[in-house]
Amino acid sequence: MHVGLACLSTTAAWRSGPSPDSEVFSLLHIPGAIPLSVSNRTLFFEATQLFRFRYDLSRREWRCCTLAYSYSLAEDAQLAKECIAWHWHPGTSREPHVHVRTEHPALGRLARLHLPTARVSFESVVRFLIGDLGVECRAGEGWSERLAEAEANWTGSGFRTSVPHP
C-alpha cells in the first residue's frame, strides 16, 4: 500500500483508525483527495478501506484482511464530480464493482450501473492511473517493479504487518 501511494504523491501517508467495531479498522490517507497531474489538468484521488487483523498460523505472522474498499477518481477535491469509482462494500452491495460516471448513447447514465469486477487491489488501480490514464508518477525509476512486488503481497488473504508473532 505504501508503494502505491508513493507513486501518486510525495506527501500523502496512510493512517488507520478505530471504527466503532473494535475488530474493524479503517485505512485512509492524509491529506485527503490527492491531486494528480494528468496532461495539463488536475484530477483528485481518494482511497479508503476497512480491514481487520488476522493471525496466519501457517506463516506465523499477523496479516491485514481487507473487508471493504472505495477508490475514487474525481474532477474536484470535494469528489462531487467523480469520474470512476471502484467499490467493494459487502454490507450494502455484495460483489465488487466499478462505477463509470458518463453517459452512453445506448445505455444511458452508466453511473447507476454496478459493473462487476473481481476484488481490485489498490496497486492495480495505481497502475491503471499511471499506465492508462497518464497520471504523473511521483516515484522514481523501477516503480512498476516495486508496485508489482507490493501487489504480490496482496494475495486476497491480506498483506503482512511488519511485526512477527512473538
Partner 1 sequence: MAVMAQDLSDPGMLTPDEYEQVIEERCQAWLGIDLSEFKRRLRDAELPDTPAVGHILMLLGVGA
Radius of gyration of the chain (CA): 17
- Min dist CB 76 to partner 1, Å, is 10
- Min dist CB 27 to partner 1, Å, is 9
- Min dist CB 3 to partner 1, Å, is 15
Q: Binding of partner 1 at residue 50 (CB under 8 A)? A: yes
Q: Which bin fits 48, alpha (ψ -120 to 50), beta or left (φ > 0)?
A: beta
Question: Using CB under 8 A, which residues numbered 87 to 126 contact partner 1?
Answer: 87, 89-92
Q: Binding of partner 1 at residue 34 (CB under 8 A)? A: no
Helix (H, G, I), strand (E, B) or coil at 122: helix
Amino acid at site 17: G
The H or E element that residue 36 is part of is strand 34-38
Q: Which residues bind partner 1 (CB under 8 A)?
A: 13-26, 28, 30, 32-33, 46, 48-50, 52-53, 55, 62, 67-68, 70, 72, 74, 77-80, 82, 85, 87, 89-92, 161-163
